[in-house]
Chain A
Amino acid sequence: MSSKVIQAMYIDDDVLMAAVKKVRQENHHIEEVYTPFPVHGLDKAMGLAPTRLAITAFMYGCVGLSVAVTMMYYIMIVDWPQNIGGKPSFSFLENMPAFVPIMFEMTVFFAAHLMVITFYLRSKLWPFKEAENPDPRTTDDHFLMEVSVHGDEEELKALLLETGATEIKVTEKH
C-alpha cells in the first residue's frame, strides 16, 4: 500500500464542511483536517467518536476527593487528634464541615489538572514538540483536508476540485 495523501486547501469553513460530507459520502478516508479555529460540527461531519475526556475528569475528581478525605482523616483524626479551638476531633463526621473546603478544592484540582494532562498526552502535545502542520497558512485563514489515496488518484483529485478546493497537492505521508 502506498502512503500517498492528497492535501486539498479550502478558504471557507462552510465549503470545507460541505466538502467533508461529500468526500465521506464517496467513501474516501479523511486522514486529517487542519483548521485555524474550531469549526462547529466538523467532528460530527467527519464521524469522529465523541471525546471521553469528561469521563476521565469525573474519575480524577473522585480520586481527588478520596485523597483529601484520607489525608485529613489520617492527619486530623487518627494521627494526632488535638483539641484545636474546641473542634470535635473524635470522628471524621463530627469535624467534617471544616474539611469540606479542602475536599472541594482537591476534587477540582485533581479533576482539572489530570484532565489537562490527559488531554496533552492523548493529543501528543509537549514543549519542544515539532509542529505537524503541513502548511502554515492553515493557522491563519486556510483550511486543509488530507485524504488518503486508494485507487484512482485522478478521480479523487477531480472530486476534490469539484467540492471547491483551491489548491491540491499530492504528497507522501511522513
Chain B
Amino acid sequence: MYTFSNRLRLFAIISFVLGAIMVGLSFYYTPANVPEMKAMHAAHDAHGGHGSAAHADASHSDDKTSHHDAHENAHAADKSHGDKAHASDGGHHKSQADIDKHHLQQLQNKPWAAVYVAAFFFMMIALGVLAFYAIQRAAQAGWSPLLFRVMEGIGAYIIPGTIIIIALIVLSFPSLHLNHLFHWMDPELVKEGGEHYDKLTAGKSGWLNTTGFLVRAIIYSTIWIVYSILSRRFSVRQDNSNDNSNFKKNFRLAAVFLVLFLISESMMSWDWIMSFDHHWFSTLFGWYVFASMFVSGITVIALITIYLKSRGYLEYVNDSHLHDLAKFMFGISIFWTYLWFSQFMLIWYSNIPEEVTYFITRIDDYTLPFFGMLGLNLIFPLLILMNSDFKRLNWIIVIAGIVILFGHYLDVFNMVMPATVGAQWSLGLAEVGAILLFLGLFIFVVFTALTKAPLMAKRNPFIEESKHFHY
C-alpha cells in the first residue's frame, strides 16, 4: 500500500493555496469599467511597462498613438470575434466606446480564461490517461498491468476535473454577468433584427445554446466518470476474487468506453474548445485535442511511475516499462505534430478567409507561444527521445516529460486565449496561479486515490508477464 508522503501533501496544499491567492489577486486587479481600465493603463505606462513585445503591443498610451491604437483595436476585435460586421450588414462602423468595451471584456476575461485553460489542461490529462488505460485493457497488453493502479489513480482526477469544468461553464452563462468567455452565449448575437445580430452564430444556435451545452457537458462527464469508477471497482475486486470474471467485465467495459470516448471526446472538443472561436470550424479538431491529451496523459503516467519507483513503491517496474512509456511519449508527440501540421497546412494552403483568421490571430498576436510550442512538443522530444538508451534514463524522461507537459499547456493556451483575451495575453499572475492551483488539486486527488488500493494489481492474468517484461 502506498502512503501519501507528508512532504508531497504539504507541497500540494501550498501549491493550491498559493495558486488560489494568485488567482484571487488577478481577479481583484481586473478593471471593473472603462475609466478604471484607462487609469490602470496610464499607471502601467508610467512605470515603463514590461519588456515583452506582446505586452508592449497591447499596452495603450492615450494621446500620441490614439489613431494607431484604435486601428489596432478594431483589427483585433474584428479578428477575435469573427466577422461580426461582415455577417450583419457589412461595414458596421465601430465607435471608440465599442472598442473600449471590447478591450475591457478581454481584460475581464483574462483571469477566467487562465482558470479555464488550467482546469481543462489537468482534466484532459486525466481523460487522456483513462483512454490509454482503456486501450491497454482492450488490447490485453502484457507489459502495462503493473502500471494499472497508477493509471487508475490519475484517472480519479476526472471526477473533480469535469465538475470544475461544468462549474466554469455554468459561471459563464450570460444570465450571471460574470464573464464573456463563450462569446456565442451572448443572447444579443442571436436576437433577430437586433443591433448585434450575428447570422453565423444564429445559424449555429441549434447546437450552440446554453441548455444543450450544459446537458452535453453533463453527458460527456458522466460517461468518463462512470468508466473511471467502474473500471477501478472491477480492478480492485479482481484482486480478491477466485475467477477472472471481473477482468473480463473490465475488458468489455473498456471496449464500450473506447467507442463512447471517441464520440464524446470529439464533441467535447467542439463544445469546450472550438466554440471559443464560434465562427471557425475544423474537421480534425477532435483528433487534434485527443492527441494533445493522450501525450500529456502518458507523460504524467511516466512521471508518476518514476516518482513512485524512486520512493521504492513499484518493486517490479523496470527500465523496460519506462522505455515503453517513453516510446509512447515520442510517438504520440509526433502524432500530435502531424495533426497540428495537417490542420495548419491545409488552412494555410487554401487560405479561405473564413478559416484562416484563426491562424492569423495566432501568428500575429501569439507568435512565440504558437511556434514555441512546436519546439517544445516536437523538436525537443524528437531529438532527445529518439535514442533508445535515453528512453531508459529517468532524468531524461523527467526533463522530456516536463517540456512536453508545458508544451501542451501552451497548446491549450493557444487554443483558448486568442478568442477570449486576444492580444491581452500574458503568462502572468493569473496563468501561473491557475496552474499552481490545479497542480495542487491534481497531486492531492491523484495521490490520495493511489493510497486507496495496493499499487500492484494482484490477480490480473497478465501480471506475471508484466513483472518479467523486458525489452
Contacts and interface: CB of A to CB of B under 8 A. Distances in A.
- Residue among A86, A97, A98, A100 facing the most chain B CB atoms (10 A cut-off): A97
Contacts, number: 12
A1 interface: no
A54 interface: yes
Interface string B145-158: 00000000000000
Contacts of A98: 345, 349
Interface in B332-356: 341, 344-345, 348-349, 351
Q: Which size class do B's interface residues fall under?
A: under 10
What range describes how many residues of A lie at the interface? Answer: under 10
B388 interface: yes
Given A54-B388, A58-B386, A100 B349 contact: no
B345 A97 contact: yes
A86 B351 contact: yes
Classify the secondary structure of B's interface with A.
helix
B344 A97 contact: yes
A100 B386 contact: no
A58 B349 CA distance: 30
Contacts of A97: 341, 344-345, 348-349
B340 to A, nearest CB: 11
Interface in A46-61: 54, 58
Name A's interface SS. helix
A97 B348 CA distance: 8
Contact of B345 (A54, A86, A100): A100
Contacts of A54: 388
A13 B386 CA distance: 32
A122 to B, nearest CB: 19
A51 to B, nearest CB: 11
A25 B29 CA distance: 75
Contacts of A100: 341, 345
Interface string B346-370: 0011010000000000000000000
B185 to A, nearest CB: 34
B228 to A, nearest CB: 38
A98 B341 CA distance: 11
Contacts of B341: 97, 100
Contacts of A58: 386
A100 B342 CA distance: 11
Contacts of B344: 97
Interface in A94-118: 97-98, 100
12 contacts: A54-B388, A58-B386, A86-B351, A97-B341, A97-B344, A97-B345, A97-B348, A97-B349, A98-B345, A98-B349, A100-B341, A100-B345
Interface of B: 341, 344-345, 348-349, 351, 386, 388
By Cβ-Cβ distance, the 6 closest A-B pairs, closest first, are: A97-B345, A97-B348, A98-B349, A100-B341, A100-B345, A97-B349
Given A54-B388, A97-B345, A97-B348, 5 more contacts: A86-B351, A97-B341, A97-B344, A97-B349, A100-B341
